[in-house]
Structure 1
Amino acid sequence: MSETQRQALPAGPLAPAHEAPPQPHARASGAGRMKLLLYGINFAPELTGIGKYTGEMAQWLAAQGHDVRVVTAPPYYPAWSVWPGYRAGRYGREQWQGVQVMRCPLWVPAKPTGLRRLLHLGAFALTSLPMLLAQWRWKPDVVWMVAPAFACAPGALALARMSGAAAWLHIQDYEVDAAFELGLLKGDRLRRVACAAERWLLQRFDRVSTISARMLERARDKGVDPARLRALPNWVDVSAVRPLTEPSRYRAELGIAQTDVVALYSGNMGAKQGLEVLSGLAERLQDRTDIHFVYCGEGAARAALVQACAALPNVRFLDLQPLERLPDLLGLADIHLLPQKADAADLVMPSKLTGMLSSGRPVVAGARPETELGHVVAQCGLLAIPQDADSFAAAVRTLAAAPDLRRELGLRARTIAEETLARDSVLHRLEADLHACMAAPRGRD
């Protein structure tokens, strides 16, 4: 978890890179009611990552009076195991928060290597296709698909064309680029073929949105018409996640003194996070009895991290915590830790950053200054060399010794969250863009 006084800040890279001109809302049925089909492998009740955001979006749109359906898989993330109460091998339907959810069979690898991840995503694209195409009778106004899994894009486009719907692709992660940059896929010829297929599909969606300005630039580089691009950053409920006015209850539960400094990592523990640096960081600061490291989350890389930290008395591990405890968990931090592999630093904007900023605490992030993540964190924390434990340790030492600096950077973090990432503001803009997308001419064949 998956998580003030205002100070004037310059317009940062989190600001929308493209704003559509104001347009009158289209009318689907009733007073602007839309029929929206959301399609993606991750959905609620997953508590972290893409499933969290797609679930919150579906719930919010349904609460506005729209008719929302979802084609998805059973929850399995971040533990890579289908949750109790769900079945991996069968289709199912349920009602959730006013949303009709259709779940499709899913193969979940116990050890998600690069090839197995691709097979996992491809399997969902196949098993979900019958359920997806059956929705043509319902005639959705917009087919909204989230990537990953990009293998689902042909099916989403086919349904949109069959039903006369607008086709919207939302990119949380450039999975094709990431697969090659992280070495999960290799070979120049394979990369050319994969990128050509991705480019062809991207250009056929009526709208393409993504979560950061740099990722929008990448979509333009892949040939998407700028007029079709929209910024849709991951958001945070700033009314729920806010700076604590009293010490976090986790301090007492973990036996950490109020005067000591807590450096917290909370989120998915997967391959792209570069978590190896966290054990090295704690090892370099194990002589500092006033600095404690708390690592919270689940994922494929957790077991290796636990083993690497086994002999370190300054490290505590927490399992994924209940959603209602998220504000208290994020408020435990005096310093948030955001490791990131250098090769992935501008392919994704980490979703966990939103909660960190909203909690009003400074961030130490592994990012190059020229990246978008680097630009954001430079306003509200310190940058470290990606995957360099010495650099992370130096940044943590600096902040641990400077409570006034931590307070100032925390205020800036909260301001960024309030001004650019507030949930209702982001989703109201999305709602208006969905209406405009319905009214616009349809995409290319």
Structure 2
Amino acid sequence: MLGDGQRDARIPVRGRLRRGDRAGVGTVRSTRTGEHRRRLRNQHPRARGAHRRAHRFFRAARVRSHQAGWAASTEPRHVAGPGRIWVPRRDRLPRGAAPYDRLVSNPEISIRVRICFFNRSYWPDVAATGQLLTELAEDLVASHGCEVSVVAGRPLTGSTGAGGGMPWWRLVGRETHNGVRILRANGTRLRPRRFAGRALNYVSYFLSAAVASLAVKKPDIVVSLTDPPIVGLLALWTARRTGAKFVFLCEDIFPEVAVLLEDFHNDAVNRTLDRVNRYLLAHADAVVALGERMQRRLVEEKGADPRTISIVHNWADCEAIAPASKDNAFARAHGLAGQFVVMHSGNIGLSQNLDVVLDAAGRLRDRPNLVFAFVGDGARRQALETSAASRGLDNVRFFPYQPKDRLDDSFATADVFIVSLKPGIEGYIVPSKVYGILAAGRPFIAAVDPSCEAAAIAREHRCGVLATPGDADALAARVLALYENRAETDAMGRRAREAAWQFDRRRAVKAYHDLFVSLPGVARVNSPVSREARV
């Protein structure tokens, strides 16, 4: 056996091997090359530069003839030491940095997360849940660099665009609005004044959304709201199918909210909704409650794990809604500029107990320049209008939903707002209208249970007064006290504006983003604003 560098004189030596015979790792190509070539294997050592460099073996330095008389260097040509360490460019010191330069850390790195929301109401729907979800989705895209998609339903506002004009045979429409990809699930758009209409809207949306979910690109997080209450099952299935995290955002707690329905009561349906709600809470990677009272109800009554629950309040855009003068276009157009206006703004539905407001208006009908205004729409509006007309309440006015660009004027027209709920449902529902009231710098009367979020805000910030829910006399007394003491009314309005910044839109969206990126396995794609170190 001959080793490297040894040669058998009986075997002729080739000057060089063909290029394919030298693979750089000391082997001869494995094709059938003949016996004489196999015997040359150990007589022709291959070049192993990469091997020598890896193990710190170097050839001796060559000295050319004109360098023979040069003085030898006092340092060795190669100094043993650790290998080279690669440092990312953003972590290197900039060129020309002096020893005492102050180093500034890199700017904050945002995490790009793929998020998919499931909720029937979305832009251009004017319901409060749809408007809040629209702001959340668009801000996650614009301010935090997320990729957001929404599996939404057709708007119930009769819009011919933005999904309103979809043909009946198309199950799913696709559109993009302000960077958010919308999968518009087709369905019926019946008026939600009767249970049959609401149920058919829910079921048709759910079936079309199941088809739309198959087109969802692989997300990091799937978020379900509660419109309709069974949509969470579809969102959870999508999350498990795609390997995403599932977040359950509890806008309402069922079946307690379903008990409010005046035209339908079914124990079997309520038990089913209760099981669905408990199942979603048990299998969610994170749960969002809208307040402390809702959190307690989820833990104490639904068996939710308190470690998975985060509290993120609803919000108002304090830059879009700001205190303004009563003398505005909306007030002048409707003859309200010189009136003391007590306003309910938002959903005119089953949970607000607005019949009590009509009763209070009847008790104050003889007060000059005192008007009760209802701005919005919902299942109870027609019945309330009929009741006010039959009772001859000339001090009660009804107005439709106002577009967002005129919301400032609508809010500024009010002197005081009413936030009311039926007794016993606080925490199952959190009235989101209170945050817009704070941003507008107006006081409010909280005709709710003392443990409700609205009551807690009124007490803590001294920006409102409380009234016993369902008590028309107490409500009328609170309205009359504010009507007769305009200075205190204005002072409470100023304190309301100061409190509004705690519930600002940007602060709430950041809380959602921080929650999403804190989930295990989500922060996988970094999108730094700048990769260069700064001095």
* Separation in structure 1 between the aligned mates of residue 275 and residue 204 of structure 2, nearest angstrom: 22
Normalized per residue, the structure richer in helix is 1
* 2:287 aligned with 1:208: yes
Match of 2:396 in 1: 315
* 2:142 aligned with 1:73: no
SS at match of 1:176: coil
* Separation in structure 2 between the aligned mates of residue 249 and residue 193 of structure 1, nearest angstrom: 49
8 Å Cα contact 1:182-1:343 kept in structure 2: no
* Separation in structure 1 between the aligned mates of residue 192 and residue 200 of structure 2, nearest angstrom: 12
* Separation in structure 1 between the aligned mates of residue 318 and residue 306 of structure 2, nearest angstrom: 30
Match of 1:43 in 2: 122
8 Å Cα contact 1:115-1:184 kept in structure 2: no
* Separation in structure 2 between the aligned mates of residue 223 and residue 248 of structure 1, nearest angstrom: 50
Q: Please report how far the alpha carbon of residue 83 of structure 1 lies from its aligned counterpart in structure 2 after TM superposition.
A: 2.6
* Separation in structure 1 between the aligned mates of residue 326 and residue 337 of structure 2, nearest angstrom: 14
* 2:242 aligned with 1:163: yes
* Separation in structure 2 between the aligned mates of residue 280 and residue 425 of structure 1, nearest angstrom: 39
Q: Which moved more, 1:87-96 or 1:398-407?
A: 87-96
Residue number among 210, 219, 224 corresponding to 2:298 in the alignment: 219
* Separation in structure 1 between the aligned mates of residue 312 and residue 360 of structure 2, nearest angstrom: 34
* 2:504 aligned with 1:425: no
Q: Which moved more, 1:177-186 or 1:99-108?
A: 177-186
Aligned AA for 1:156? A
Aligned AA for 1:216? Q
Match of 1:395 in 2: 478
Match of 1:414 in 2: 497
TM-score, length-scaled by structure 2: 0.71
* Separation in structure 2 between the aligned mates of residue 292 and residue 402 of structure 1, nearest angstrom: 16
Q: Please report how far the alpha carbon of residue 406 of structure 1 lies from its aligned counterpart in structure 2 after TM superposition.
A: 0.7
Greater relative contact order, per chain length (Cα 8 Å cut-off, separation 6+): 1
8 Å Cα contact 1:264-1:336 kept in structure 2: yes
8 Å Cα contact 2:113-2:522 kept in structure 1: no
Aligned AA for 1:425? R
SS at match of 1:169: strand
Q: Which segments of 5 or more consecutive residues in structure 1 lack a partner in the other structure?
A: 1-26
Match of 1:303 in 2: 382
8 Å Cα contact 1:251-1:332 kept in structure 2: yes
Aligned AA for 1:339? S
Match of 1:123 in 2: 204
* Separation in structure 2 between the aligned mates of residue 380 and residue 386 of structure 1, nearest angstrom: 18
8 Å Cα contact 2:340-2:483 kept in structure 1: yes
Structure with max Cα Rg: 2
Match of 1:97 in 2: 178
- After superposition, the Cα gap between the structure-2 partners of 1:93 and 1:246, relative to the gap in structure 1 and judged at 3 Å, is same
SS at match of 1:208: strand
Aligned AA for 2:159? W
Identity %: 30
SS at match of 1:177: coil
* Separation in structure 2 between the aligned mates of residue 257 and residue 167 of structure 1, nearest angstrom: 49
Q: Please report how far the alpha carbon of residue 219 of structure 1 lies from its aligned counterpart in structure 2 after TM superposition.
A: 1.9
Match of 1:11 in 2: none
Taking the TM superposition and a 5 Å limit, the aligned residue runs for 1:19-418 are 32-64=111-143, 65-76=145-156, 82-85=158-161, 86-87=164-165, 89=168, 90=170, 91-114=172-195, 116-135=197-216, 138-180=217-259, 186=265, 191-221=270-300, 222-244=302-324, 247-258=327-338, 260-310=339-389, 311-378=392-459, 379-418=462-501
Q: Which moved more, 1:219-228 or 1:155-164?
A: 219-228
1:164-190 deviations in Å (ceiling 9; x for gaps)? 111111111113221135566646666
* Separation in structure 2 between the aligned mates of residue 362 and residue 249 of structure 1, nearest angstrom: 21
* Separation in structure 1 between the aligned mates of residue 266 and residue 398 of structure 2, nearest angstrom: 38
List, as ranges, runs of 4+ consecutive aligned residues in structure 1 with deviation greater than 6 Å: none
8 Å Cα contact 2:316-2:504 kept in structure 1: yes
TM-score, length-scaled by structure 1: 0.85
* Separation in structure 2 between the aligned mates of residue 43 and residue 257 of structure 1, nearest angstrom: 33
8 Å Cα contact 1:277-1:339 kept in structure 2: no
Q: Please report how far the alpha carbon of residue 194 of structure 1 lies from its aligned counterpart in structure 2 after TM superposition.
A: 3.6
8 Å Cα contact 1:237-1:423 kept in structure 2: yes
1:284-309 deviations in Å (ceiling 9; x for gaps)? 11101121222211122111222222
1:383-424 deviations in Å (ceiling 9; x for gaps)? 2222332221111001101112112221222222112x1111
8 Å Cα contact 2:343-2:418 kept in structure 1: yes
Q: Please report how far the alpha carbon of residue 363 of structure 1 lies from its aligned counterpart in structure 2 after TM superposition.
A: 0.5
RMSD: 2.3
Q: Please report how far the alpha carbon of residue 273 of structure 1 lies from its aligned counterpart in structure 2 after TM superposition.
A: 1.7
8 Å Cα contact 2:254-2:274 kept in structure 1: no
Q: Which moved more, 1:117-126 or 1:265-274?
A: 117-126
